[in-house]
Amino acid sequence: EQDFYVPRDKDGNFIKYASCGDAYADMLAVMKTLTPTHVVFNGAAGALTGDNALKANVGETVLVIHSVANRDTRPHLIGGHGDYVWERGKFANAPLTDLETWHVAGGSAAAALYTFRQPGVYAYVNH
């Protein structure tokens, strides 16, 4: 997970500063809100949507591994749930079962197994 702050003015143009110190107030204001303007996966917006969406057939089981650098998060699969979830990512531990939402601690990873039971669009989200 990486966050990049690329400042723009009210017209959407990139802001240029004479020095790093001149940018300090604007950077601090943006970083305090942690509000992204867009989300990318492997450097591309929309990398996992539309024609690029990950696909699975009914009856197939997928393993989702979710890691975060420094902030806790709570992912869930809209339309499904975690059949088996390892919230600390250690497969030697017994998994939790049938979770709608699970917790991933900052600096950690979690794993979730889900078997698709019906066709549809399943959104994987976290907050």
- Name the residue ranges covered by the structural domains of the chain: 54-126
Dist CA 1 CA 71 (whole Å): 10
Would you say residue 61 has pLDDT above 60? Answer: yes
Tens digit of pLDDT for each residue in 67-96? 887 889 999 999 998 999 999 888 999 999
pLDDT, residue 97, reads: 97
Residues above pLDDT 70, as percent of the chain: 87
What value does the mean pLDDT take over residues 19-46? Answer: 75
Longest dimension (CA), the chain: 58
pLDDT at 5: 66
Q: Is the Cβ–Cβ distance between 14 and 8 less than 8 Å?
A: yes
More confident residue, 46 or 4: 46
Tell me the pLDDT band of 38, cut-offs 50, 70 and 90.
Answer: low
Is the pLDDT reported for residue 104 higher than 90? yes
pLDDT of amino acid 19 = 86
pLDDT of residue 95: 97
pLDDT (0 to 100) of residue 83 = 96
44 phi/psi in degrees, rounded to 5: -130, 130
Distance from C-alpha of 9 to C-alpha of 55, rounded to nearest angstrom: 39
Tens of pLDDT along 3-25? Answer: 566 777 888 788 888 888 888 88
CATH code for 54-126?
2.60.40.420
First to last CA, the chain: 14
